[in-house]
Amino acid sequence: MSGRVEIVPVQGLPEVAAGDRLGELIAGALAGAGEEVSTADVLAVAQKAVSKAEGRVRDLDDVAPGARAQRLAKNLGKDPRLVELILSESRSVVRAERDVLIVETLSGWICANAGIDASNVPGTRRVTLLPEDSDASARRIRAEIGSVTGVRPAVLVADSFGRPWRLGQTDVAIGCAGLAPLDDWRGRSDRQGRGLAATAVAIADEVAAAADLARSKDAGLPVCLVRGLGRFVVVDDGPGAGAIQRPDQRDLFR
């Protein structure tokens, strides 16, 4: 199956604050914008809005860096308070070289700085941490949208990650609910009846990347509505984006 895909940035979402029910805010913004949501839609939500709603914001002035953080920070040329926060959000350090600190986060994502980001947070020393469990965040947002609208679109939480070998960042999924994160082609055939080389398509990551194209980093539009992917939307919340994490024993780059 193939077909048109449309990505619509959702206008009118207020600035998000700790304790906000983000799904209700999204449902309100959709209604205000006259966008009807369906069970075949996917709502892609920027991680930063989710983190703010969940109070995952820290002030660097409140952080006391330990000896390890101080040592690492000196080697990397980073703020030791930021490094302390990164380490406290990490299971392990994957690379600490030059000015780069790549870790495995407590939720299992491998990324720079444990996904901690200082941009788009009001106040000079405020940083956002990743949600503690972005799959749970996606499930909660989906349920909230469902209780307001009576309709349960899929929800994904997206963040911008860098990549080995390639410059620039792309948005990837760190959480999802109601979306098949991987489209598995193993065992299926192509038009000549031959087995396909692709094992699986990382649908959730491709949706996150697509949504990022429809909004600008400075536009304050953390939510996009993605239409035309109903074949990947499922009634149950599904395994979440955690299913995209490559198991250590199948990974050659950590």
Residue 63 backbone dihedrals phi, psi, to 5 degrees: -105, 130
Pick the closer one to a second copy by CB: 43 or 148.
Answer: 43
d(CA 206, CA 204): 5
Pick the closer one to a second copy by CB: 147 or 188.
Answer: 188
d(CA 234, CA 40): 9
Q: Which residues contact residue 176 at a Cβ distance below 8 angstroms, ignoring those fewer than 6 apart? A: 135, 138, 154, 155, 156, 157, 204, 238, 240, 241
Out of 197, 230, 234, 238, name the contact with a second copy by CB under 8 A: 197
Taking CA atoms, 179 is separated from 27, 76, 84, 215, 237, in Å, by 18, 38, 34, 21, 7
189 within 8 A of 196, measured Cβ to Cβ = yes
Q: Residue 147 Cβ, how far from a second copy at the closest point, in Å?
A: 28
d(CA 63, CA 83): 10
Out of 54, 89, 171, 237, name the contact with a second copy by CB under 8 A: 171
The candidate with the shortest Cα–Cα distance to 158, out of 37, 51, 20, is: 51
Q: Residue 71 Cβ, how far from a second copy at the closest point, in Å?
A: 19
Residues touching a second copy, count (CB under 8 A): 79
Pick the closer one to a second copy by CB: 84 or 212.
Answer: 212
Site for a second copy in 88-127 (CB under 8 A): 95, 97-98, 100, 102, 109-110, 117-122, 124
Max intra-chain CA distance, the chain: 62
Q: Residue 150 Cβ, how far from a second copy at the closest point, in Å?
A: 25
Out of 57, 76, 106, 243, name the contact with a second copy by CB under 8 A: 243
Site for a second copy in 2-61 (CB under 8 A): 2-9
Pick the closer one to a second copy by CB: 18 or 213.
Answer: 213
Q: Which residues contact residue 144 at a Cβ distance below 8 angstroms, ignoring those fewer than 6 apart? A: 21, 22, 23, 24, 26, 27
Pick the closer one to a second copy by CB: 25 or 112.
Answer: 112
Q: Residue 43 Cβ, how far from a second copy at the closest point, in Å?
A: 15
Q: Residue 39 Cβ, how far from a second copy at the closest point, in Å?
A: 18
Stretch that binds a second copy, among 17-25, 133-141, 150-158, 239-247 (CB under 8 A): 239-247
Residue 120 structure tokens: 């788009």
Site for a second copy in 141-160 (CB under 8 A): 160
Out of 19, 150, 168, 187, name the contact with a second copy by CB under 8 A: 168
d(CA 43, CA 167): 27
Pick the closer one to a second copy by CB: 71 or 217.
Answer: 217
